[in-house]
Structure 1
Amino acid sequence: MSLSMDWKKDRIASAHRGENPMVLAKMRSGFAVMGDTQFLPGYCVLLPSVKVNSLNELDYKQRSEYLLDMSIIGDAIQEVCSPRRVNYSIYGNTDVYLHAHIFPRYDWEPEERIPKPVWLYTEDHWFDCKYHFSVEQHGEMKQRLSQKLNEIIKNAY
């Protein structure tokens, strides 16, 4: 990962400039990126091409493309990570711009976590460095997700 974390100040603009090290693929509606935390390996985020506050600010064609791209990321996660299922969510409460979370869910998760949203995982899962994306630990998975995404995109569009 880049020594400078300036790309985090504006993740969308840095993706357009080719400076966001988390980018997996350029998609019709935006950018597929790795999630900052990887306690559920394969967690990704879809950033839109244009910064808007919500899905409703996009026209119908843009919304359709965004939601299709979100599901395509899920397809890639399923192929590469073999989760039990994939969860999709759009909130915008903390980072107040449109972005979609795509979380793989696994059979190996603690039984009490399986029926609950990922947001109920303890705070350390979100902030402890041992769960943060690192090239050393997650680089191969990132490369495989990127390859699978680009393969799917070529056939889907």
Structure 2
Amino acid sequence: MEKNRIASAHRGENPMIITKMRSGFAAIGDTQFLPGYCVLLPFEMYRSLEELDFKLRSDYLLDMSLIGEAILKVCEPRRINYSIYGNTDAYLHAHVFPRYNWEPEERIPYPVWQYSSEKWRNPKYQYSNETYGELKENLGKEIHRLMKKAY
């Protein structure tokens, strides 16, 4: 996978892209130990949310919530966690994580990032079209349905 996920999305070469939205690209997460995990990539490499003008910022946050709502509908988690950090990949991107009742009780009060590296790197959870393609397709259908209502 190319390091610049936004540039590869613009070229139609990023296999993780679910769909183009008003403010950026909805992408399925590289790892799916929490099924439905997605990322919202903006159209440009902004350093932070505050670099967006108010209209684009509003669109970005709405798109982030539409992804979350699609995950709720398709995957039926107990809730959605949203996070924007930019510490490791120093550009704006939003993580949209489903949280499930079947997660270990000791994990529930903590951020997803505190799961062990085994979860993040385990090959069985790494995205592949064979394993997670139907999930990606269903998320795309629901995101499109929600965009029609929202825009």
Q: TM-score, normalised by structure 2?
A: 0.98
> What 5-or-longer segments of structure 1 have no aligned partner?
none
| Aligned pairs, number | 151
The secondary structure found in structure 2 opposite 1:9 is: coil
The secondary structure found in structure 2 opposite 1:113 is: coil
Residue 19 (1) aligns with residue 2 (2): no
| 1:7-59 deviation per Cα after TM superposition (whole angstroms, max 9, x unaligned) | x3211011111111111110010000000000000000000011111001111
Match of 2:113 in 1: 119
Superposed CA RMSD in Å reads 0.8
> What 5-or-longer segments of structure 2 have no aligned partner?
none
What are the equivalent positions in structure 2 for 1:1-157 lying under 5 Å apart?
Answer: 5=1, 8-157=2-151
| 1:112-148 deviation per Cα after TM superposition (whole angstroms, max 9, x unaligned) | 0011110100011112212111111111111100111
Amino acid at match of 1:32: A
Amino acid at match of 1:112: E
State how far apart, in whole Å, the 2-side matches of 1:16 and 1:44 are: 18
Question: Identity of paired residues, percent?
Answer: 66
The secondary structure found in structure 2 opposite 1:36 is: coil
